[in-house]
Structure 1
Amino acid sequence: MTTLTAPFAGRTVSRVGYGALQLQRLHHSRDEAVALLRRAVELGVDHVDTAQFYGFGFANQVIREALRPADDVLVVTKVGADPDPGGPMPLRLAQHPEQLRASVEDNLRSLGVDRLPVVNLRRLDSGPGLRPDRDQVVDLDDQLEVLTALRDEGRIGAIGLSGVTLDGLRRALPAGIACVQNAYSLVSRDDEDMLRLCAAEGIAWVPFFPLGGAFPGLPKATDEPAVHAVAESLGVTPSQVGLAWLLHRSPNVLLIPGTADPAHLEANTAAGGITLDAEALAALDAIESRSAEVPLG
């Protein structure tokens, strides 16, 4: 069980959470998916990252069934894209204010709640993957206006940002930002300045692709000899070393590794208990950082 904690959206959570994207791999067996999430709670996970477009709503359905009020799990969702089962990709961008509001309502319905504790705006301005183009290029201020209104209405509790630039975060600070989700790992550390700003402002830093290698051509932490050497010396896996390094990087880092495998889930949560000494940290910090800026589409 993880014991490291950090402030997040007005409460204190364990620093290792769970990302629900991989639940869609269990779409053939809802019972297995529910059992996996129940196991996460047993292991001390108390914040879960999700979106209505994960598995075309499957992840949210599983969360609704698996989590109980007594579990007191903070469910964080995101907007900025919608499911698109019939399209060339499984999702389509939905960046306009009216689309963001509709996505919030979709998440409320699928999760069966009347308030979303944290909603991340997936901006897609940085990191690997899609970029908004044509009619989906929307000013950040317009997006923050509708999210702030939804917060004032009590539909959401806090606002987060994802795929945002340093300038974008600075512009958004007056709105009150609870967390930032950007691609960041031991081997792709483009956002060091943003991480420092988040730490100074009391904003949780929640890296996605925490081990890198999300797309072909991107570096992977588990390919690094130094990572393997540290893992061998500690009797843990290279993946656990990559996650532990993130937790050591800054006290405001929260992790949301995803998996559909119970053993992998246990290994991920156990990373919160790994201590890296000065020698190990020096060896890991010396690994070259390569950019994660590989846009697709």
Structure 2
Amino acid sequence: MTIKTFALGGDLTINRLGFGAMRLVADSVDGPPRDPGTGIAVLRRAVELGVNHIDTAGFYRRGAVQANELIRRALSPYRDDLVIASKVGPLPTPDGVLSGHARPDQLRSLVEADLRSLGLDWLDLVYLRADGMTEPAGGSIAERFAVLAELREQGLIRHLGVSNVNAAQLAEAQEIAPVAAVQNRYADDVGLLAECEDAGIAYVPYFPLGGGVSPLDAERLSAIAARLGATAVQVHLASLLAISPSLLAIPGTGSLDHLEENVAANDLSLDDGEADPVTPSR
């Protein structure tokens, strides 16, 4: 049986099937903004369905539609068990197009902006999103991560994470402060996932459904889905959750129907052979 919860940072119990907020603002990186009312409805329904881990970022925005603002409007005042994670590092244009990375002296203002837009006094989890938009670019993250560690000491952040990193960068961060979560694209990242599992660190793959970048193994997924009376997407999510008890899935959507489909994957029971890792290919 797949364990359905995870103790983030050792003290925040969350459901392993969460929600990624990026697609609340637009369906694609160059698509038009979504209707804010639909995004608010999706968020409220997600919480009704048991989601208590929402992954967002201040740069998730398209024009006047911003994910953090939608989360605050939909869910504030927040339930005590709701965990909100954010990411800082990339610098967006006003329309949400990423155009660079923040210097260490810019990170505090990004965290404070997230606090204001979400209406929070502290953030449960903040990732430092390292350089590189597809694969980890390497290089030191120590100076920037140290800034977030200081904000943690000041009570603005509860737990720290790193995103788009390699094993050396994770080790570098751990020398500075405890790392509660790693958010990477899960492709040829098995070694880092195993390291996270051994250390009690959450591993959170972004683009868990391919993100329009990596195709899913439709033939294999469809065959399993037919046996279970499920969809290929649901089988893929269930397979992700079966890879490791430390893996958290955060599928995102701006559709109520897709939300219902994604969350229902939490109830699928796969046979041993079917639970082999089913991941997007490059």
Q: Same fold (TM over 0.5)?
A: yes
Distance (whole Å) between structure 1 residues aligned to residue 117 and residue 279 of structure 2: 42
Amino acid at match of 1:260: G
Aligned residue in 2 for 1:8: 8
Match of 2:144 in 1: 143
Structure 1's 110 and 213: CA in aligned 2 closer, same or farther, altered over 3 A?
A: closer
Per-residue CA distance 1:78-101 (angstroms, 9 max, x = gap) = 001122036xx7122223111222
Q: Which one of the candidate residues 74, 81, 104 is aligned to 2:90?
A: 81
Residue ranges of structure 2 left out of the alignment (5+ in a row): 28-32
Where 1:161 maps in the other structure, the secondary structure is: strand
Instruction: Confirm or deny: 8 A CA contact 2:38 2:255 kept in the other structure.
Output: no
* Residues 43-65 of structure 1 deviation map (CA, whole Å, 9 limit, x = unaligned): 00001000111115610001111
The Cα shift of 1:69 comes to: 2.6
Distance 1:149 1:102, change over 3 A: same
Asked if 1:277 corresponds to 2:279, the answer is no
User: Which of 101, 105, 109 is 1:98 aligned to?
Assistant: 105
Residue number in structure 2 paired with 1:158: 159
Q: 1:31 to 1:288 in 2, by over 3 A?
A: closer
Matched with 1:241 is: 235
How many percent of aligned residue pairs carry the same amino acid? 41
Match for residue 48 of structure 2?
42
C-alpha distance in structure 2 between counterparts of 1:151 and 1:39, whole Å: 31
Residues of 1 paired with 2:25 and 2:142: CA distance?
33
Unpaired stretches in structure 1, ≥5 consecutive residues: 293-297
Relative to structure 1, is the Cα distance of residues 112 and 97 closer, same or farther in structure 2, using a 3 angstrom cutoff?
same
Give how far 1:72 is off: 3.0
1:194-243 residue CA offsets vs partner (Å, 9 max, x unmatched) = 0000000000011111132533xx4x12x431111111111111111111
Find the counterpart in structure 2 of residue 227 from structure 1. 221
Check conservation: 1:163, 1:182, Cα contact below 8 A: yes
1:252 pairs, out of 223, 246, 251, with 246
Q: Structure 2 matches for 1:121-136, cutoff 5 A?
A: 121-125=128-132, 128=134
Give the match's secondary structure for 2:84. Answer: strand
CA distance in 2, matches of 1:36, 1:160: 26
Matched, 1:193 2:191: yes
SS at match of 1:172: helix
Q: Give the SS at the match of 1:66.
A: helix
Counterpart contact for 1:82–1:103, Cα < 8 Å: no
Query: How big is each residue's C-alpha offset from its partner over 1:233-269, in whole Å with a ceiling of 9 and x where there is no partner?
Result: 1111111111111100000111110001111101111
- Rounded Cα–Cα distance in structure 2 between residues aligned with 1:249 and 1:3: 11
Between the two proteins, the alignment pairs up a number of residues equal to: 271
Three-state SS of the structure 2 residue aligned to 1:40 is helix
TM-score normalized by the length of structure 2 = 0.88
Q: TM-score w.r.t. structure 1 length?
A: 0.84
Amino acid at match of 2:158: G
The verdict on how the C-alpha distance between 1:213 and 1:23 changes in structure 2, with shifts beyond 3 A counting, is closer
CA–CA distance in 2 between the matches of 1:157 and 1:92?
Answer: 28
